[in-house]
Structure 1
Amino acid sequence: MKTLADWLAHCEQLHPKTIDMGLARSQEVARRMGLQPGCPVITVAGTNGKGSTCAMLESILLQAGYKVGVYSSPHLVHFEERCRIRGEIATEAQLLPGFEAVEAARGDISLSYFEFTTLAIVAAMSQAQLDVMVLEVGLGGRLDAVNVFDADCAIITSIDLDHTELLGETREAIGLEKAGIMRPRSPVVVSDPVPPKSVIDHAEAIGADLWLMGRDYRFLPAPGQERQQWNWSGRHKRYSSLAYPALRGANQLANAAGVLAALEALHTRLPVTAQAVRVGLGLVTLPGRFQIVPGQPNLILDVAHNPHAVAALAENLDAMGFFPTTHAVFGAMGDKDFAAILARMDPLVERWYFTDLPTPRAAKADQLEDVWRATTRRKDVAVQSFGDPQQALDAAIAAAQPTDRIVVFGSFYTVGGILQHGTPRMPAPHAGH
């Protein structure tokens, strides 16, 4: 196998199950590889907000002068996006030795695609002389391959119902799975403002250093500066008059607050200046998270694909002000709660464009349309179905007036199906408007 594409095809064939929760296989291969990060590890779990949290940590730590590695998944367009080294997406040349090392060590152990690629990326990052690694959990926490590596600091973002067939039917059960990334005597920051009791109980049971929002750290909009500046206070540190993070949406303040708590918890090992915090939050970018593409009409890209994330998306759309017509392009995996997602978004949308996605795990566009028809009470809404996200977006652009907005949301495949052609170029505002 010579190319990354060769290796990924190999990884897809190795294991009988796409998702196979458990640490034993990954732990044994990591042991054989002698794979142990030689720098502090920050592990991030949660239902929503993981990617944003990792991106803010990375941005601040880079501004503080640290050599940072980030592992996140899934990717939007190219596999290499899953690994960033010193602020840059990893190259094929940087990743290939990691795949070779995993293959040489695994022997007759069959690894899932996620397990193999996780070990390969951590191996690649271990060769890069990093000061800190940020590892995003793929699914759950306790049994996720990322949890092979001990977290020097764990962050648990918002917790809600998703992947219930694997993680449990309640927030308490799902919270306990996320809590599995905690380690005794190490800090764990919970940025969910109302965490399940199972998270708090597990932290206390193992003797983790628990940081809770509202108890160990707080944030508020700066007085008289709503929507422009905010204040944060932790156990010993304070930041006042911070600019809002460059990632848009009200939910990002909670994520940013958790990031600042984690950095305070690690301050003896990874000190950061107030300037690094301010500049890092101001420069952070993450494609597909309430990403607004300017032009006429406005285009918004968001990987919201469960009811909790879609509720945040709906609030952010509400806060944008009035648009005569909202066009929505939506595609999702077959295991999602479409009825709840569509019920939350339907009052905001005048024209729906449902799309197929290029994976057998996805729901079909006509299936989404059937669920929408069963949930809506509105008779004045136009609806169409398409074979892929780009076709759906093209139809929305053709139908939209310059003062409208188009929202592309759902699976990573939905947003990735647009971004694979580059960031769309929307028509510029006409002179005199």
Structure 2
Amino acid sequence: MPNLPTTLPDWLALLESRHAEVHIDMGLDRVRTVKERMGLAFRCPVIMVAGTNGKGSTCAMLESILLQAGYRVGLYIKPHFLDFNERARINGDMASDAALVEAFDFVEAHRGEVDLTYFEFTTLAIMHLLSKTDLDVAILEVGLGGRLDAVNVVDADVAVVTSIDIDHTAYLGDTREAIGFEKAGIFRAGRAAICGDPVPPQSLIEHAGKIGADLWLLGRDFNYQGDKQQWSFAGRSTRRNSLAYPALRGANQLLNASAALAALEALRMQLPVGAQEVRAGLALVELPGRFQVLPGRPTVILDVAHNPHAAAALAQNLGNMGFYRYTYAVFGIMQDKDIDAVINPLLEQVDHWCVANLDSPRSAQAAELVARLSAHRPAGAKPEDFSAIAFANPAEAYANALSRAGENDRIVVFGSFYTVAGVMAARKSSLH
């Protein structure tokens, strides 16, 4: 192949430039064509995870438990914060630049005349990389929706849908029923189809029935209960008692953990996992940017909450943290989100808003967000009790919050992966 990039940054730059105008191009025909030319197939069980929120956490818990059980685990998870390599993990470690470049070369060699988006190309490359690695299990996180997501050209042995809420309405529809149908598109006939949403849309239930998937519903086929110290899971034939809470913090993590344990129960003949391995996996799981509380003072919380469902969970988690004198928010969000529904749950929790523009053409303008937030200024509030200020980027917004926050205050960074990634990058460069 003439003049192909030889480094990962150059490959990523090329892929971004090829599809500068088209960010999302729904439909699987192109991806399927290239997949077949590549001969892409997994020789191990595949767990696929979709959902509006919680899919990254569920993938991370599955990976952690299965690694504790001694299995060779491949994980495709996205988006990344600092390095593209974060998207492809083999046995808990990020894939190397060289392995990813080789996979990109392979896709390019089989693409021919087919035009692939950045997401489609990179998805095929990472799935190829995982399929050629000697694995016991592959965990694939769905990007957007399910039915038409590039990951869905693979047939999952177990498909998990974590939660269904309103997001990406331009592509998925603006009701839970419409979105539920899109998520259910990852289900397969005769295979386990797990739904961890406590109130599953009828469209998801009907689609599973229509294709003959083996549907597992929370509250019917599996459930959980817990007190302050520990929790327990009950599946169709498995009970797991005296479990420690997952190391990932937040009110919804037991829903995600239960869906993960249901998936493992469905695969118990191929991938048996013991009680101690489940406990250790949940205790040791890590996932950046999901209600991640950083050590030190002031308290800093990173959370990628960017839709109403996730924002409500974030507000609940902040409310459960105890007393802080002031809370500063570093906030940036995409223009196409339901911005008011993301902001509203946080108004009770946040005193000072440091609002950032994001490095994306879809970014909401910080000045407009400040105007929107200022309309919520409490009557008679003094400057020390409420503020909303615009900044050029998340790093500047975070620097301002850090300069004003005392050691008994907290800073919450949320609204988008871009917001959290911008602050992570600023913190990393300040340490060097």
TM-score normalised over the length of structure 1 = 0.95
1:319 matched to 2:323? The reply is no
| Partner deviation per Cα, 1:310-347 (whole Å, 9 max, x = no partner) | 00000000000111111111001111111111111111
Q: Which residue of 2 aligns with 1:73?
A: 78
Aligned to 1:281: 282
Structure 1 position 374, deviation (Å): 4.0
User: What's the CA shift for 1:424?
Assistant: 9.2
Would you say 1:299 and 2:304 are equivalent positions?
Answer: no
Q: Kindly indicate whether the alpha-carbon contact (under 8 Å) linking 1:418 and 1:424 is maintained by their aligned counterparts in 2.
A: no
Secondary structure, counterpart of 1:180 in structure 2: helix
| CA distance in structure 1 between the aligned counterparts of 2:22 and 2:430, rounded to whole angstroms | 40
Does structure 2 conserve the Cα–Cα contact (< 8 Å) formed by 1:101 and 1:120?
yes
Q: 2:18: which partner in 1?
A: 14
| Residue aligning to 1:268 | 269
Residue 430 of structure 1 corresponds to which residue in structure 2?
none
* 1:153 equivalent among 158, 166, 174: 158
What is the DSSP-based 3-state SS (H/G/I as helix, E as strand, rest coil) of the residue aligned with 1:185? coil
CA deviation vs aligned residue, 1:340-379 (integer Å, no higher than 9, x gap): 1111111111111000111112112112112223455555
CA contact (8 A) 2:196 2:217 kept: yes
Give CA-to-partner distance per residue, 1:209-260, whole Å, 9 cap, x none. 1110000011001xxxx23200111111101110000000111010001100
**Contact kept in structure 2, 1:98 and 1:121, CA below 8 Å:** yes
Are residue 4 (structure 1) and residue 5 (structure 2) matched? no
The SS at the match of 1:354 is strand
Question: 1:423 Cα shift?
Answer: 5.7
Match of 1:370 in 2: 371
Aligned to 2:232: 231
Aligned-pair distance for 1:294? 2.1
SS at match of 2:348: helix
SS in 1 for 2:216: strand
Note if 1:345 corresponds to 2:350.
no
The residue that corresponds to 1:217 in the other structure is 222
Alignment RMSD (CA, Å)? 1.4
The amino acid that maps onto 1:147 is N
Structure 1 residue identity aligned to 2:217: L
Question: In the alignment, is residue 35 of structure 1 matched against residue 40 of structure 2?
Answer: yes
Q: CA deviation at 1:191?
A: 0.6
Describe how 1:30-429 pairs up with structure 2 within 5 A: 30-221=35-226, 226-374=227-375, 377-378=378-379, 380=381, 381-422=386-427
CA distance in 2, matches of 1:382, 1:418: 20
The TM-score, its normalising length taken from structure 2, stands at 0.95
Count of residue pairs the alignment pairs up: 422
Q: In 1, Cα distance between the equivalents of 2:143 and 2:330?
A: 25
- Cα offset, 1:14, TM superposition: 2.8
1:422: Cα distance to partner?
4.7
CA shift, 1:413, in A, is 0.7
Taking the aligned partners of 1:376 and 1:157, their CA distance within structure 2 comes to 36
The range that moved more, 133-142 or 14-23, is 14-23
SS in structure 1 opposite 2:186? coil
- Change in Cα spacing, 1:142 to 1:375, as seen in structure 2 (3 Å) is farther
After superposition, the C-alpha distances for 1:85-141 in whole angstroms (9 at most, x for unaligned) are: 111011101111110011000101000000000000111112211111111111000
5+ residue gaps, structure 2:
none
Cα offset, 1:421, TM superposition = 3.8
Higher mean C-alpha displacement, 260-269 vs 226-235: 226-235
The 8 Å contact of residues 339 and 375 in structure 1, kept in 2 or not, is answered as no
Q: Secondary structure at the match of 1:420?
A: helix
Aligned residues of 1:216 and 1:234 also touching (Cα < 8 A) = yes
338-347 or 366-375, which deviates more: 366-375
In structure 2, the partner of 1:429 is none
